[in-house]
Structures are given as C-alpha cells and as structure tokens.
Amino acid sequence: MIIQEFLDTNITYLSGVGPKRAELLNKELNIFTFRDLLYYFPYKYIDRTRFYKIAELDPELPFVQVKGVIKGYSAEGHGPGKRLVADFQDETGTIKLVWFKGGKWITGSYDPGVEFIVFGKPSVFNGMINIIHPEIDSADKMAESLNSALQAQYSTTEKLKNHFLTSKTIGKLTGNLLKQLKFRIPETLPPYLVSKYRLMDLHESLHKIHFPENPEELERARYRLKFEELFYIQLNLLRFKTNRSLKHKGFVFSTVGDNFNNFYFNNLPFALTNAQKRVMKEIRKDLGSGKQMNRLLQGDVGSGKTLVALMSMLIAIDNGYQACIMAPTEILANQHYQTISKLLKGIDIKICLLTGSSKRASRKFIAESLLDSSLNILIGTHALLEENVQFRNLGLAIIDEQHRFGVEQRARLWQKNFNPPHVLVMTATPIPRTLAMTLYGDLDVSVIDEMPPGRVPVKTMHFNDSERNKVFGFIRKQIAEHRQIYFVYPLIRESENMDYKDLEDGWDTISRVFPPPEYCISIVHGKMTPADKEASMKLFKDGHAQILIATTVIEVGVDIPNATVMVIESAERFGLSQLHQLRGRVGRGADQSYCILISSDKLSREAVKRIEVMIMTNDGFEIAEKDLQLRGPGDIEGTLQSGIPFDLKIANLGKDGQLIEYVRNIAENILASDPTLDDNQNTIFKTELKRLFSKRQSWSDIS
Ligand code: ADP
Ligand code: MG
C-alpha cells in the first residue's frame, strides 16, 4: 500500500518540481501525481548509440552526437544576432557551437579542454557546420547516468518550455522519480497473464519505456503497456455486457405473428437481400433468447436498414409490445414516419410522430395512447426522451444513425421501462471491425454488407473552383432530363478566417446561373425553423424544386431517389466519412448518379488523398479503413461517446487493431469462466477497473 501512496503523491513534492511547475504540469499535461508522470510516455526516441566524427557531419543529417572538446569561446555579432560561439573539435575537424542566450551560464559550465558529448542538429553558416543550442553532457557522466542509448522525447508545450520544462527536463524528472522508488511497482495484471503472454513486468516496463537500452527492450515495454491499456478497455466493455445479461432478463418475443406475416407476404414491395435476411435472423434469435438485445446494425447508406427496423418492430407488436424509433433530426423522423406508414398500408397498426414541433394536442393524444397501449409505434426525435413520454410496455427501442446520439441519451431511452427493452442501434457510418470493438464494444454487431439489387454505383468526379462552369453545364443537362441536384456547403455564413464557399454565396451564384421562373431552388440549413426546413424539403421532395442548397443537415438519411447529382462545395473541408455520407444521398434510384467534388486548387496532401479515395471506391467499409489510417480514430467519434473515458496513453485504436482483437479474446475467455471476476487470481482486475474507470462509469450500465 505504501507504494500506492507513493505513486499517488502530488507531483509538487517531486524534487525539481515545486508548486509553480506543478501547476504547469497539471494544466498543460494533466500530470497531477507521481503516477501520472510515470505514465506520461515519450512520443519518440532518438538513437544515441551512434557517435559521429566531425568530418562526417553534413546539414542533411538529423540529430547527431559528437564527442570532442571545446577549444575556446568567442562573442560574435551584435543586436539580436549577438551570440556566443565555441569551437568544438575532435580528431577529424572543428565545428561551431552557437548560443543566442544563456552565454554566461554556458561558459561557466563547460570548460575548454574537457571532453563533452554534444547533441543537436547540424546546420551550415558561413560555410561552417554549426550546431545551435546543443545539448551538452560530460563524457564520463553520461556513461554512468540513467541516460540510455535511445533517448526519449516527450511532447511539451510553449508554456512549459518557457518555464524550462523541456523534453529533457521531463526526462530528468522521470529519472529522479524512478531513482526514488524504494519498491517494485506492483503488477496490474495477474501473474498468470504476465507469464502466459510473456509480458515484461510492469516495474521493468515503466523503466524501459522511459530509458530503453536497446530497441528490443523498448519494443517489449511498449507491447506490455499497450497490451494492458487495451486489455482493460475491452475487459471493461465486456464486463458491462456480461453484467447486463446477468442482471436483466430480456422480454421473450416467441412468436412471429399476423402483423409480421401480413406485411411480409402482402406489403413487402421487394425481396429482401441476403444480408437483410441474415441480419433479421440474428435479431430474431436475440429477441427470442430471453436475454436483452443490445445490437448495433451497421449498413452503408441505402443498404436498407429501415426495413430491418420495421420488421423487428412488427415482431415486438406481434408479441404484445410497443416499439419506437428515435432519429437525430426532424427531417429524418418525418421521413421514417412517412416511409413506414406507407409500408404498413392496410395493416392495422397505429403509428405516431413526435418531434420538438409537435403540437400540444397531438402530444396529449400520444401520451394517452401510449399508456392505453393503443399506440403501437412511436417515431420521433430527442423528444422521445422527455419525461412525460411514458410507454405502457416498450419492448423494442430503435435508434437510427447512432453517431448523432451520445451514450447518455441511449441510456435514457433504455430507462423508459421497468424492464429494459431490446435495443437496436443503427448506423450508416461504417466502422472498421477492430474500431467497432472499442467504440461499440458492449454491443453485438450485425452488418448489412450488400446493397439492394439494381443500384448503379455513383460516379465521383473532382473539379477545381475555376472549373465551376463545366459543372454548371453538366447540371443544366441533368435538370433538362428531370433530375434533381443537391449542392452542399460546409458553412452557413462566411467566417473571417476561412474562405470556404459558403451557403449564402452559393445561393447568390446558383440562383444567377439557374434563374426563376425556369428553375426553382430550395434551401435548407441548421438555422432555419423546423417548419421552414420542412417546407423547403417538401418543395424538393415533391419535385417542384430542381436544386436543393443545403448544409450538412441533409447528411443523414434523406431519401429522394430522383436526385442524381450531389455537388459538394469546398470538398476539402469535409472528412472522408462525411463525404461518403453525403454521396450516399444520391444513387438511390435506377439512374446513373454523380457526386461532384469541388475544391480550391491549393490542397493539402491529406485533402488530395481523401479526394482520391472518394473517386476510387464506393465501399463504405473501405473508406472507413482509409479514414482511420488518414486521421486516426480520434476524430471519428468523440472519446466521450466511445466507451473510453480517458485518452489513450500509448495504444492507438487505428494502428493497434490486431492487438485489440487479441486482448478482447483474452478478456472474453476470462469472463466466460469467471463472469463476476471473483476468482482469487482475478480480483486484481476489479481493483484496476475501478481505478481506471470509476470516474465516468454511471452511464455504462446501459447499452
Ligand atoms: P438506409 O440503410 O440508408 O437507411 P433505407 O432503409 O433508407 O437505407 O433504404 C434505401 C432504399 O432502398 C429505400 O428506398 C428502400 O425502399 C430500398 N430497399 C431496401 N431494401 C430493399 C431491397 N431488399 N430491395 C430493393 N430495394 C430495397
Ligand atoms: Mg436510414
């Protein structure tokens, strides 16, 4: 326990820190305790095994180290160019060491004639090799110091550097801390795991990650620390899953009854795709299992998730329960309401729509018919979460386009019943499998990986701003063939420091190029009232407007088969998954559709890559993988929603996919044989889980 107290000691008390630096470390790096400092890992290492001879130096080299002696100092230049210069020599030649500040301290610390090791980046000035502001160590001190061959580099901030908390200082502080340790740092994994998976033990890993002696050692330390970090995330997620199924029984939907059959045999307008069939089987199995379903349904835009949702709801209704769908926007909720009402034509099922703009009277009606169970299906937005929305017996809750909802909102829906309903979460954002293991690690996953037949893949093209007239010409032709066009803009109003084409600007241009009365243009953006949005959408949906100008509010789920062209302005501004979502708005009918990316002609490398990927493939999963490689997972979904309440210190959800799968398996096996983790050798897991996750755990009980 004493060691734990030591690790929990406030960082102020570490020698070399003190209150002022402590405050900076708190604020800038989130380092509050000794433990935090130990777990502040280097972001890279510089190889210091190699010494260069002065004759070998050239300005192309990165950091180098040279052993030699200072021959003498001189002051050169004046004003801001004033500097202290030392001639530094080995048996092969001389270079200059240069300082623009700290002169007195330098000449007092490094005496001429003594052997030093100089470390820095070579550059050229006046035809001589210079090293500006080198790091200097005495040659013999370095040999015995904790300083290792691979020198750790820590990221710091300007503020920290201004207070001399450089990467080197952080390394030193960490070194001090490790030297003060009087005990071995206790294991956070049980011995049987450490030995079975041949892990370096924690004590050693925490030393070697900061002061590795060679690359192999460093690799083993990194592996051990990543293993542990990812393992506990998976164990945490899987334990919730296990607990949930231990705690709650699910409603058993044992029959497929009249409503389902009636719909399936009489109303279903087409044959299900094989993927839809497979997913329905998976869902039916869950619904009949006696366990509460918590399933994520992934399927690219247009893959036909709505139908799966509807059929699942019919099963709930056939078994005497109510069902609901929550969508992220009114437009979408509305659309679901219409689609589903149409699909259920002639079948005696009561459906209502509840959104923020529902009138008092209809709210009252909904509340009443929910409670007397005359209402079978409620479709709506966040409004469903309001307290006065009470179901008589909610059996299935469906959440569409999950990434728009936080986990806490899922939780509130889940609590609508004394017994939790089955939960189906649907997302059109394809997520690479290993990332889904973390982001939705407590859910079971179904995938619709097949498009309904007869779809013609969308053609994607890229144009520069200056080629806009070509695009307009193309659009004119499409409109002449009675097709409809989306124009999407990243912003509503031009902001001072971004010159992205904005919506209003776009409206000006487009309405000049496509003037009334020949053309009718509709507009939708986030700042409009729901009623105005609705009216604009309707104008486009009914085919009166040929062009819809919009911000990304139309990103999700809008289904207008006659729209065949998606023009994305300032395409460089959007992420890959967003571009893909937008493109998914077209290609919904039998006609050839087009996605036109317009960008400025000065593009970053990443932007060029994104555009290339978009042109190359229509496969959402492939795009998601590429996106993950290009951006890392951080942006794909906010950490808060991802089931990880902290920043990863060493692992990378994008790059460590294999390891994630590996440790998830291990965690699964452990829970399979010891679901409550009460086995003696496993109690250490509980201690660690508590320490790591207790701060933000409350929501996690839920799906
Ligand atoms: P999403 O998965 O993006 O929510 P939707 O459920 O909106 O996709 O379906 C997209 C379109 O495909 C809809 O017009 C729907 O009627 C149609 N669709 C769905 N399933 C099939 C199928 N099996 N065969 C043909 N068309 C289908
Ligand atoms: Mg949908």
* Residue 406 pLDDT class (50, 70, 90 cuts): low
What is the crossing angle of helices 330-343 and 530-541, to 10°?
A: 50
Distance (Å) from CA 311 to ligand 2 centroid: 14
Give pLDDT tens digits for 107-118. 888 999 999 999
DSSP string, 418-455: SSPPEEEEEESS---HHHHHHHTTTSEEEEE--PPTTP
pTM across the whole model: 0.70
Distance (Å) from CA 422 to ligand 1 centroid: 23
Q: Region 388-411: what's the mean pLDDT?
A: 78
Q: Give the pocket of ligand 1 (CB within 6 Å).
A: 270, 272-273, 276, 299, 301-307, 428, 452, 557, 559, 588
Rounded to whole angstroms, the Cα distance separating 656 from 667 reads: 16
Residue nearest to atom 10 of ligand 1 (CA): 302
Give pLDDT tens digits for 213-230. 888 899 999 999 999 999
Cα atoms found within 13 Å of the Cα of residue 250, Cβ hemisphere only: 25
Residue nearest to atom 26 of ligand 1 (CA): 452
Angle at 76 between CA 74 and CA 81, to 5 degrees: 145
Distance (Å) from CA 220 to ligand 2 centroid: 45
Residue 602 has pLDDT above 80, yes or no: yes
Q: Where in the chain is the domain with CATH 3.40.50.300?
A: 459-617
Q: Where in the chain is the domain with CATH 2.40.50.140?
A: 49-145
Residue nearest to atom 5 of ligand 1 (CA): 304
Give pLDDT tens digits for 140-173. 765 544 455 688 989 888 888 888 888 889 999 9
Of ligand 1's listed atoms, the one at least distance from the Cα of 305 is 2
CA-to-CA dists, residue 135 to 123, 142, 504, angstroms: 15, 12, 55
Mutate to test the pocket of ligand 1, among 303, 401, 403 (most ligand atoms within 8 A of CB): 303
Rounded to whole angstroms, the Cα distance separating 97 from 516 reads: 72
Distance (Å) from CA 303 to ligand 2 centroid: 8
CATH number attached to the domain at 459-617: 3.40.50.300
Give pLDDT tens digits for 59-70. 888 778 899 999
CA-to-CA dists, residue 69 to 85, 91, 562, angstroms: 14, 10, 78
Distance (Å) from CA 299 to ligand 2 centroid: 9
Residue nearest to atom 4 of ligand 1 (CA): 305
CATH number attached to the domain at 1-45+146-183: 1.10.150
Q: Where in the chain is the domain with CATH 1.10.150?
A: 1-45+146-183
CATH H superfamily, domain 49-145: Nucleic acid-binding proteins (2.40.50.140)
Residue 641 has pLDDT above 50, yes or no: no
Sign (positive/negative) of CA torsion 205, 208, 213, 218? positive
